[in-house]
Amino acid sequence: MTALGKPPDSPPQLSLCQSAVRQCVCVCVSVSYPPSSQSTMADTARDPPPELSDFQELQDGEDLFPEPSAPLESGPASLPAEDISTNSNGPKQDSLFDDDPEDLFAEATEEVSLDSPERDVLLSDGPSPAITPITPPCSLITPHIDMFTHCSFDEIEEEEGGDSFDMHISVSDPEKVGDGMNAYMAYKVSTKTSMSLFRSQDFSVKRRFSDFLGLHSKLASKYLHIGYIVPPAPEKSIVGMTKVKVGKEDQSSNEFVEKRRSALERYLMRTVKHPTLLKDPDVLQFLESSELPRAVSTQALSSAGILRMVNKAAEAVNKMTIKMNESDAWFEEKQQHFDNLDLQLRKLHASVESLVCHRRELSVNTALFAKSAAMLGNSEDHTALSRALSQLAEVEEKIDQLHQDQANADFYCFSELLGDYVRLITAVKGVFDHRMKTWQKWQDGQILLQKKREAEAKLQFNNKPEKLQQAKDEMRELEGKVQQGERDFELISKTIRKEVSRFEKERVKDFKTIIIKYLESLVQTQQKLIKYWDAFLPEAKAIS
Amino acid sequence: MRSVSVDLNHDASLLIDIPDALCERDKVKFTVHTKTTLSSFQKPDFSVPRQHEDFIWLHDTLVETEDYAGLIIPPVPPKPDFESPREKMHKLGEGEATMTKEEYTKMKQELEAEYLAVFKKTVQVHEVFLQRLSSHPILSKDRNFQIFLEYDQDLTVRRKNAKEMFGGFFKNMVKSADEVLISGIKEVDDFFEQEKTFLLDYYSKIKDSTAKAEKMTRSHKNIADDYIHISATLNTLSADDSTANKKHCGGYYMSSFVFLQKVEGRVASDQELKLTELLRYYMRDIQAAKDLLYRRARALVDYENSNKALDKARLKSRDIPQAEEHQKQCLQKFDKLSESGKKELTSFKGRRVVAFRKNLIEMAELEIKHAKLLRTWLAMV
């Protein structure tokens, strides 16, 4: 399948090898799903009980739902259908959306941030959370780490350099540049912003896919190992890209380009929404400067690419051998949480992919039926019935288009976003793994120090002054390293807490947005369905 | 399903229904209940148990009755087919480990509903068959029909033995020659010429439409199943989120998908019943009409042959009276078939148009109802 060209170019995550394979398997499973359900004739469902019990059945289910069943009890004609027009749907939904999240997330954030430090104090036997004001590698990262312990929703916002987040990036105008196997797609990256961080308010540059990968690679190498959740870049696809290069101007290569364009846009938005990454000079350069040095090492089959793969494999082995004594229950809990989340998201993603597949099938089948109904209408000798059948064919044709559009919504609004999150969770888990490695390094340092101490004691006992001095020097150096190791560990732990809290907040908000948008698309579909069938009804009634 | 063939069961002198049925393994036992004011029956109100094979026997005896050659014999109800839900149930059992308990329960419920739907459908299609007979002026008086309704013992003894089954097989083999025969006939009657052209063409079209409609329905069902999985996973997700964030968030969007699945499933079944079943039923009915044309064509062939035989007899000056008699009989039979056939085919068209109208209207109305319901629900979320 796409196992061909899928060494994902996201940062060397420890568990990515396995999850990449898992992801392939997941997709495989969903692709083979349709054939197995191709059983013979009538996969009949329950026949509709008379009108009354229709509503009864639904109402039973609705007892679970917080919605008033009163409007639904009356027949369709008396539903407040006239009120719920396309126009009023919008604002109504917005108001719903606005009311809830504020309460939800403020509380959630408070709880997370208030709980954890307390737990730290009560539960951890391990190293005390010594908060030393260290300037992290990148001086642009805000040094107010102690702020985190009392961090609330508002304060996180303030950290973002005083500007409220106001930025919109779009990736558009895919253009093929060059010919043959050296050809590539160039995308226009346009930024609109009022933030003071940028030189102007409205600007755009041309970028190619490897530029995005290069950006990600730089960010990953700078931030991942100190605990920042760097959004993974969209995946390479040798098969997809080759088709485009070779010049096939067909449906599937257009879809591929659109899929990629959309993925790149989401990637950039996610990256700039991260308050720390936004201020990174590489990000700024990517968005603003007209020329960008070519990121050659991102090529899959380059020596750098192969080296990456080898490293990943090595790291996967290493990860299995690290046994960390987790003294902080928060991390254990979160790790478990993300493991579960990973599982559920993959499952959800697979189900939604299956939905997309079936919806596309439905569209094809509807189109086929429409043609067949048209032929039947032609064959019918009763005039009015013939006309009605032709009308039915037309309705079904329109519905086919509707299904296609809905399938696209299923895909772009739902499936792709879930895929993004599956990869994001992998990045999160990678960050946890880095913390483990940091701990390991610190522990190794401590063990070494202990050995050196023992050696020094022995030397003292044996009275060898020159060696003793050397040993003492080495020990001092080691002590420094161990202290640094401890600080690193503390730092990464703190960063991860902040990152995870931010991530979870974003995720829950994102999910809600995704689902609401998706449900909105379904509402649009229903509107159109009503219109089409309403138009058909008089035709059916006209049969005599 | 009753709406597939309308104007049935209104004549109070003979009312038939199947109020009850039992499913034992693969065999379905129907309880055929009759209420009648006719003196030809022994009792005014009675019930008998019948199997699917009994229906086949009844149908076949009617088809083989010479006197009914000019009638459209209502199509035999198809055999109860639980294969599909059973296969799905089996697959579900195999996949149990991969889903949550809740998901599994939901899928199982869906399958049980499907099983029940197949069951209900087969009851109704058998019922409609009997009701078509009871509302037909000639067929309702058939002796075998009465036996079927009344005989309180097992009909197995009276049913086809091996020889007759072979006869049935032979009949099916010959059926493929039908089309050639029907189309090859030199038709003198405009009405039948038109009907022939129309029915042959219409049959192939409606057969195609039936198959395509079935595929559409299956896709709808697949989508409904997907919604089950999605809602189950969202449920787990929101439960996890509640634990992790110590706040209940977003259980309502899981419920949207549950609702979606219910509606999508309902759409699928409505479409099935109003559209697919309609097409399927009339496909079979048209086959029955074609059978009528075949019989008439056969009679025409016989008549033409009898003419040739008469000519030969006259030439040879031998057996002329027999030949004349034979020819007269053939002609009579042909004329009778043509007259009765014309009536049957005309009322058939009327019946078909009415049924299509009713079902298309109902389907459109149901689609609108479901879409409105879904739209209202989703807009509230």
**How would residue A318 be classed by pLDDT, with cut points 50, 70 and 90?**
low
How close, in Å, is residue A429 to chain B by CA atoms? 16
How close, in Å, is residue B202 to chain A by CA atoms? 6
Contact A530 B378 (CB under 8 A): no
Mean pLDDT of chain A: 71
For residue B209, the chain A residues in CB contact (below 8 A) are: 369, 372-373, 375-376
Task: Quick: pLDDT tens for B277-316.
Answer: 899 999 999 999 999 998 888 888 889 889 999 999 999 9
Q: Nearest Cα to A67, choosing from B381, B24, B106?
A: B381
How close, in Å, is residue B95 to chain A by CA atoms? 12
- Parallel, antiparallel or unpaired: strands A202-208 and A184-193: antiparallel
Contact A515 B364 (CB under 8 A): no
For residue B234, the chain A residues in CB contact (below 8 A) are: 348, 515
Separation between Cα atoms, residue A123 and residue A117, nearest integer Å: 10
Separation between Cα atoms, residue A239 and residue A300, nearest integer Å: 13
Residue of B nearest to A538 (CA): B361
Hey, is the C-beta of A543 within 8 angstroms of any chain B C-beta? yes
Determine the pLDDT at residue A314: 66
Residues 6+ apart with CB under 8 A from A50: none
Separation between Cα atoms, residue A428 and residue A434, nearest integer Å: 10
Q: Would the pLDDT of A19 be above 50?
A: no
**How would residue B271 be classed by pLDDT, with cut points 50, 70 and 90?**
confident
How close, in Å, is residue B10 to chain A by CA atoms? 20
Contact A385 B357 (CB under 8 A): yes
* A 11-40: CB under 8 A from B: 34, 36-40
Q: Would the pLDDT of B270 be above 90?
A: no
- On the CB side of B102, CA atoms within 13 Å amount to 11
**How would residue B118 be classed by pLDDT, with cut points 50, 70 and 90?**
confident
Higher pLDDT, A181 or A142: A181
Mean pLDDT of A324-337: 84
How close, in Å, is residue A52 to chain B by CA atoms? 13
Assess contact for B229 and B100: CB atoms under 8 A: no
Mean pLDDT of B33-45: 91
- Parallel, antiparallel or unpaired: strands A184-193 and A167-177: antiparallel
Reported for B108-116, long-range contacts at CB under 8 A and 24+ positions apart, including other chains, are B110/B224, B110/B225, B110/B228, B110/B265, B111/B85, B113/A45, B113/A46, B114/A43, B114/A44, B114/A45, B114/A46, B114/B84, B114/B85, B114/B88, B115/B82, B115/B85, B115/B86, B115/B89, B116/A46
Contact A541 B361 (CB under 8 A): yes
Hey, is the C-beta of A246 within 8 angstroms of any chain B C-beta? no
Q: Would the pLDDT of A387 be above 90?
A: yes
Separation between Cα atoms, residue A278 and residue A282, nearest integer Å: 9
* A 500-529: CB under 8 A from B: 504, 508, 511-512, 515-516, 519-520, 522-523, 526-527, 529
**How would residue B158 be classed by pLDDT, with cut points 50, 70 and 90?**
low
Q: Which of A362, A372, A526 sits opposite B223 (nearest CB)?
A: A362
Task: Quick: pLDDT tens for B48-67.
Answer: 999 999 999 999 999 988 88
Task: Quick: pLDDT tens for A95-106.
Answer: 333 333 333 333
Determine the pLDDT at residue B339: 93
Mean pLDDT of A54-59: 37
Determine the pLDDT at residue B114: 83
Q: Which of A40, A76, A382 sits opposite B369 (nearest CB)?
A: A76
**How would residue A64 be classed by pLDDT, with cut points 50, 70 and 90?**
very low
Higher pLDDT, A32 or B161: B161
Determine the pLDDT at residue A299: 63
Contact B214 A42 (CB under 8 A): yes
Q: Would the pLDDT of A27 be above 50?
A: no
CA angle at A543 for the pair A540 and B2, rounded to the nearest 5°: 75
How close, in Å, is residue B90 to chain A by CA atoms? 12
Residue of A nearest to B200 (CA): A379
Residue of A nearest to B220 (CA): A362
Select the residue from B357, B362, B365 to test the A interface by mutation, using most A Cβ atoms within 10 A: B357
Task: Quick: pLDDT tens for A75-85.
Answer: 333 333 333 33
Q: Would the pLDDT of A312 be above 80?
A: no
Select the residue from A25, A43, A396 to test the B interface by mutation, using most B Cβ atoms within 10 A: A43
Q: Would the pLDDT of A430 be above 70?
A: yes
* A 82-121: CB under 8 A from B: 84, 89, 92-93, 96, 104, 107-108, 111-112
Contact B194 A381 (CB under 8 A): yes
Mean pLDDT of A178-201: 86
Please report the DSSP string for B263-323 in residue order. Answer: HHHHHHHHHIIIIIHHHHHHHHHHHHHHHHHHHHHHHHHHHHHHHHHHHHHHHHT-SHHHH
Q: Would the pLDDT of A123 be above 70?
A: no
Contact B213 A369 (CB under 8 A): yes
Q: Would the pLDDT of A491 be above 60?
A: yes
Determine the pLDDT at residue A113: 33
Helix (H), strand (E) at residue B32: strand B27-36
Q: Would the pLDDT of A484 be above 50?
A: yes
Of B39-48, B82-91, B153-162, B274-283, which gets the smallest average pLDDT? B153-162
Mean pLDDT of chain B: 84
**How would residue B253 be classed by pLDDT, with cut points 50, 70 and 90?**
low
Residue of B nearest to A74 (CA): B373
Residue of A nearest to B212 (CA): A369
Select the residue from B245, B269, B348 to test the A interface by mutation, using most A Cβ atoms within 10 A: B245
Select the residue from A44, A58, A336, A418 to test the B interface by mutation, using most B Cβ atoms within 10 A: A44
How close, in Å, is residue A454 to chain B by CA atoms? 45
For residue A96, the chain B residues in CB contact (below 8 A) are: 381
3-state DSSP call for residue A331? helix
Residues pairing with B35 in the sheet:
B15, B45
Predicted TM-score (pTM) of the model is 0.73
Determine the pLDDT at residue B242: 67
Determine the pLDDT at residue B145: 94
Q: In chain A, how long is the greatest CA-to-CA distance?
A: 118
Residue B301 CA to its chain's centroid (Å) = 31
Q: Which of B118, B233, B368 sits opposite A44 (nearest CB)?
A: B118
Q: Would the pLDDT of B190 be above 60?
A: yes
For residue B375, the chain A residues in CB contact (below 8 A) are: 84, 523, 526-527, 530
pLDDT > 70: percent of chain B: 86
Q: Would the pLDDT of A396 be above 90?
A: yes
Contact A352 B216 (CB under 8 A): no
Q: Would the pLDDT of A36 be above 60?
A: no
How close, in Å, is residue A75 to chain B by CA atoms? 9
Most confident of the following: A383-387, B238-242, B374-378: A383-387
Q: Would the pLDDT of A248 be above 80?
A: no
CB atoms near residue B81 (< 10 Å): 16
Q: Which amino acid is at A386?
A: S
Contact A512 B198 (CB under 8 A): no
Separation between Cα atoms, residue B2 and residue B7, nearest integer Å: 9
Buried b / exposed e along A174-195 (16+ C-beta atoms within 10 A): beeeeeeeeebbbbebbbebeb
Mean pLDDT of A407-411: 87
Please report the DSSP string for A415-467 in residue order. Answer: IHHHHHHHHHHHHHHHHHHHHHHHHHHHHHHHHHHHHHHHHHHHHHHHT-HHH
Task: Quick: pLDDT tens for B176-185.
Answer: 556 666 667 7
**How would residue B36 be classed by pLDDT, with cut points 50, 70 and 90?**
very high
Task: Quick: pLDDT tens for B319-339.
Answer: 888 889 999 999 999 999 999
For residue B118, the chain A residues in CB contact (below 8 A) are: 42, 44
Q: Would the pLDDT of B130 be above 90?
A: yes
How close, in Å, is residue B315 to chain A by CA atoms? 46
Determine the pLDDT at residue B54: 93
Q: Which of B216, B272, B364 sits opposite A45 (nearest CB)?
A: B272
Q: Would the pLDDT of A307 be above 80?
A: no
How close, in Å, is residue B356 to chain A by CA atoms? 8
Determine the pLDDT at residue A151: 30
Determine the pLDDT at residue A296: 64
Contact B259 A34 (CB under 8 A): no
Hey, is the C-beta of A65 within 8 angstroms of any chain B C-beta? yes
Select the residue from A26, A46, A339 to test the B interface by mutation, using most B Cβ atoms within 10 A: A46
Determine the pLDDT at residue A129: 36
Determine the pLDDT at residue A513: 85
DSSP state of B96: G
